[in-house]
Amino acid sequence: MTTRPKGVIPALLTHMFDNGKIDYDSIDRHVEFLIANGVHGIVPCGTTGQSPTISWEEHEEINKTVIAARDRANSKTSVIIGAGSNNLIEAVESTKKATEEGADATLHVTGYYNMPTQEGFANYFLGVADAASEKGVIIYNIPGRGHPLILPETMAALAKARKNIWGTKDSTGGRVAGHKLYNEERSLWRAIRREANMRGLSLFGIWSGDDPVTCAMMTDPEIRANGVISVWANVFPHVYAKMVEAILRHDYKAAEKIDNSLKELNGLVGVRTGYYFPVGSENIYVEDDNFRNPQPAQFVAYTLGLTNSPMVRSPMIVPPKEVQRKVGVALHRLFVEHEDYFGPITEFYHPQPSVADRLMEYKEVV
């Protein structure tokens, strides 16, 4: 069975043209960039890759593109394909295809709208684990995107029942407001590790699903996260890899220094702002809307020259000027403070205009 990856695993953006069609050549190049800059795995067709808006046929083509790029590089980088669905029949079919194509594992976000019970989750994951044969399965726990919390005991019991259930990508924040057991900081994460340990599952993996909490999850001895399935490692793979590798060798001081330098960037996964938008002949003002991943990340990749378009498919939208300004100003600040973070982008992509010129319009006026 493939080794469970530790480290930085970008949740791959799906590159598109302005017309919304998928830019497979740009995806191929992006994978080459990520591997060259030290990532430990790649997740194509996850929610960061706009999985709800791409067809299963497009899923398959993206997966083939990523695996071909990995194999061409003769790399041991793990490919963990997003194969989740709120429909088990689709998920089983997608899992089988992913394993046939050469994936090392599949990642499953599930249950949105259906709101499954814990038994329903168990039925789902037993089904996809059997479909995956010997390949890994990772449970994606992200109740903020429309399904109930998958409980620690459910996940640990599943991993005991099926050895190829590797663990969980966690995007819960580590606590659940109002929950009688998990309302304290990091209490849910610690409960996951405790439930796994009680069942003798020393290899049970916990991957951070949120860049800002990776350091906390990996350095806490009661959690011992394996790494991060990351949004911003799409753009700065070398920086996140350096941080995680420092943690893995127990150089927590070095890791914390990098983590602190990334706090503003990490906060841009979701951007809140007020803005106007047209509906027919009217301009509607929204005082406070949330532009969630992947909308800001796709814009950043475009701004820095990693992709040819900021396009995301409806009902997501290309961020309006208000969001672009917020994101751009933060990027420019990061460039001023840590220009070296942007060096590998310049060396690999040679963007014209240069990164410095692209960010100049976002320079703050003092």
- Amino acid identity at 15: H
Residue count of the chain, please give it. 366
Specify the 3-state DSSP secondary structure of 349: helix
* Main-chain phi, psi angles of 227, to 5 degrees: 155, -150
Residue 125 corresponds to which tokens in the numbers above?
């994951």
Q: What is the distance between the alpha carbons of residues 193 and 32, in angstroms, rounded to a whole number?
A: 34
Cα distances (angstroms) measured from residue 36 to each of 27, 40, 194, 338, 351? 14, 11, 36, 20, 17
Specify the 3-state DSSP secondary structure of 361: coil
Residue 119 corresponds to which tokens in the numbers above?
């038994």
Which are the catalytic amino acids? 140, 169
- Burial (CB < 10 A; 0-12, 13-18, 19+), residue 239, is buried
Q: What is the distance between the alpha carbons of residues 49 and 37, in angstroms, rounded to a whole number?
A: 20
DSSP assignments along 248-287, one per residue: HTT-HHHHHHHHHHTHHHHGGGSEEEEEEEEETTEEEEEE
DSSP assignments along 175-221, one per residue: --TT-SSS-STTHHHHHHHHHHHHTT-TT-EEEESSGGGHHHHHH-T
CB atoms within 10 A of CB 353: 10
Whether the CB-CB separation of 244 and 225 falls below 8 Å is answered with no
Cα distances (angstroms) measured from residue 256 to each of 39, 250, 260, 303, 322? 19, 11, 6, 27, 31
Q: What is the distance between the alpha carbons of residues 78 and 2, in angstroms, rounded to a whole number?
A: 9
